[in-house]
Structure 1
Amino acid sequence: MSTPVFWRDPALPHVELRKVEDGRSVCYAPHTHTEWSMGAITRGESTFVHGDRQCRVDAGCLVFINPNWVHVCNPIEGRSWAYLMLYVDTQWLVDLRCRLGLTQTPKWQDLTPDAMRSPELFDGFIALTDALLDRSLSVGEKNERLLAFLSTLLPRLAASEAPRGASERLCALADYMDTHCAAEVSLDVLSRQADISPGHLIRSFKRHFGMTPHAYVINRRIQRGQRALRQGQSIADAALDSGFSDQPHFQRMFKRLLAATPKQYRLGSVDEQKHTAAGKQGGESAVDGA
């Protein structure tokens, strides 16, 4: 398996890119992202599970993953496959959709479909990812190409007419877990807050959020660890900040959910920062505009 490449630039905090050239041994556990993300299968095929739907995707397919939707994409029987994944900050994308006149509300709306085949959009996405990885381009040029691509793509994606819903009690519980994920959150405490039995809580929570309360907390901790690593924290500090009692546990869970080690993820940021100064020339003015 090739080492995954992560691209980030501190001057473009609303976007991140992952590139995998050989994913035969890549294996994700079900997980979520706080960002909206899209991917392209550039070689081979894999299984794609998004919410309640499962399908096979192969070279030329684009996939789209809504924020906080449980998903997984894994190789088929060890067959070769390669892919690109772009992660876009949800609120930034909400604001862009408003500026494009695609929505009147500054709130996230899930988008459909979750997979499509469009040679035009596929080629455009590949061109965008090539541009983001091109160290000769300025920050402004990269952001302009991102905006141009999304301005073409987003009108092709429809807002979901039936957004997923959970009871007010479960949503409040999820908010509590989001805030306190770095602390020890016991099932007994959660069940008392929700005023239901532990067994009922596990079943209800998984039905609405796609994972058990424990898996939900671990997922949030890993997301918190990602943010810490992006901000330049050491792996040890990121582990502690995320609520893991020791670094090896953090590393195991990080790799299980993200199919990469914390070191591989952190190096993407460090490597790009070395080239940020060259990329900023004449580019800052375009970063926030549409």
Structure 2
Amino acid sequence: MTMVCAKDNPFETGELSPRERAHLWVDSRFDDLECLHARFQDYQYSPHFHDTFVFGRVEQGVEHCRSRGLDFALTPGTSLTIINPGDLHDGRPGEEGYEYRMFYPSVELMRQANEECGGSGDIPWFSNCYVEDRLLSERIGRLHRLLESEGCPLEAESLMLETLTHLVLHHGDQKPVPGRIGDESSPVAKVCDFVRDGLDQEFGLEDMATIAGLNRYQLIRAFRKEMGMTPHAYVINRRVEAARGLLKNGVTLSAAALDCGFYDQAHFSRIFKRVVGVTPGAYRNACHG
């Protein structure tokens, strides 16, 4: 199996300052695993979520984060973050900025890891978005650098298995993944289903409130309580996640923007970068070499 990597092409980083850099690549050997190595001095992630898991470490400096109501700081050494699919989170630099390495493993890759280490084959889940684990931190750093340098395939496969099984065995809850929003009949779930099924449409707050059976004020309050964000923020994040999937499958930038409800290319690029950390063009290049 091969690795699709953008390392040999200058990475389009949009509005990043000269002091900042971001290198994202996709490793097809591990279910199209996305990997990000970045140095941010001023850049801040707005609150967002992913359809994948996220875990990683800071190598230099400090990153301040918030997820599931917890504020925490990632520093070099032992601290790690583990984010479940759908968990709202953000990131902002400390005084001197930070350099970090992140993995975005698919739900299926994590399910396989759970099964490999004797689990039931269910999808693992992680209650703690911040953990201290020096051994795991060292493994993550070594694995990330190995994949970035296209090192020995056997070593990469072995270290990947060790890293993921350690993550599951020592920090996973060993319980099935909660049903996705939309599997239930709550007002917010109904709106989330409505949004997912029509990302190329315009959404009005009044229409969404009608579907939920609430007034507009009640809808916003319900969304904040259940999702940690407003309906508008949810729509934007869902559009970005859908665009990531299309770009990974080779869809053009303009087609992805249109299919996901971004009618202005500049707006698409700005919003995508705010959530993903790189522009849509850079992301597509990373996925396809």
TM-score (norm 1): 0.83
- Structure 1 pair 151–81 and aligned structure 2 pair: CA distance change class (3 A): same
- From 244, 247, 252, give the equivalent of 1:234: 252
Q: In 2, distance between residues paired with 1:98 and 1:186?
A: 43
Residue by residue, what CA displacement relative to the aligned partner does 1:149-197 show, whole Å, maximum 9, x if unpaired? 1112211113188x98987322232222222223222222211111110
Partner of 2:229: 211
Do 2:58 and 2:98's aligned partners in 1 also have CA atoms closer than 8 Å? Answer: yes
Do 2:57 and 2:74's aligned partners in 1 also have CA atoms closer than 8 Å? Answer: no
Deviation above 6 Å: which 4+ runs of structure 1?
163-167
- From 91, 101, 107, give the equivalent of 2:118: 101
Partner of 1:274: none
- From 75, 79, 87, give the equivalent of 1:58: 75
2:45 counterpart SS class: coil
Q: Give the root-mean-square deviation of aligned CA atoms.
A: 2.4
Do 1:8 and 1:268's aligned partners in 2 also have CA atoms closer than 8 Å? Answer: yes
2:223 counterpart SS class: helix
Do 1:7 and 1:18's aligned partners in 2 also have CA atoms closer than 8 Å? Answer: yes
Q: In 1, distance between residues paired with 2:167 and 2:101?
A: 16
1:85 corresponds to 2:102: yes
- From 75, 79, 86, give the equivalent of 2:93: 75
Partner of 1:287: none
Matched residue pairs, number? 266
Residue by residue, what CA displacement relative to the aligned partner does 1:195-225 show, whole Å, maximum 9, x if unpaired? 1101101110111001111110110111111
Q: In 2, distance between residues paired with 1:223 and 1:112?
A: 23
TM-score (norm 2): 0.84
- Structure 1 pair 234–141 and aligned structure 2 pair: CA distance change class (3 A): farther
1:111 counterpart SS class: coil
Identity across aligned pairs (percent)?
26
Residue by residue, what CA displacement relative to the aligned partner does 1:18-63 show, whole Å, maximum 9, x if unpaired? 001x210221110001111101010001211011111222112211
Q: In 1, distance between residues paired with 2:28 and 2:75?
A: 32
Partner of 1:33: 50
1:158 corresponds to 2:176: no
Structure 1: stretches of 5+ with no match in the other structure = 272-290
Q: In 2, distance between residues paired with 1:85 and 1:67?
A: 14
AA in 1 matched with 2:102 = M
AA in 2 matched with 1:149 = T
AA in 1 matched with 2:27 = D
The range that moved more, 246-255 or 91-100, is 91-100
2:108 counterpart SS class: helix
1:127 corresponds to 2:142: yes
1:191 corresponds to 2:209: yes
1:171 corresponds to 2:189: yes
Deviation of 1:11 (Å):
4.3
Deviation of 1:129 (Å):
0.6
Q: In 1, distance between residues paired with 2:111 and 2:68?
A: 21
Do 2:116 and 2:165's aligned partners in 1 also have CA atoms closer than 8 Å? Answer: no
Residue by residue, what CA displacement relative to the aligned partner does 1:226-260 show, whole Å, maximum 9, x if unpaired? 11221222222221122111211101111222232
Query: Which has the higher relative contact order, 1 or 2, with Cα contacts under 8 A spaced 6 or more apart?
Result: 1
Residue by residue, what CA displacement relative to the aligned partner does 1:69-91 show, whole Å, maximum 9, x if unpaired? 110111024x2210011001113
Q: In 1, distance between residues paired with 2:228 and 2:276?
A: 17
Do 1:254 and 1:260's aligned partners in 2 also have CA atoms closer than 8 Å? Answer: yes
Do 1:6 and 1:265's aligned partners in 2 also have CA atoms closer than 8 Å? Answer: yes
Partner of 1:264: 282
1:159 counterpart SS class: coil
- Structure 1 pair 93–158 and aligned structure 2 pair: CA distance change class (3 A): closer
2:282 counterpart SS class: helix
Partner of 2:152: 137
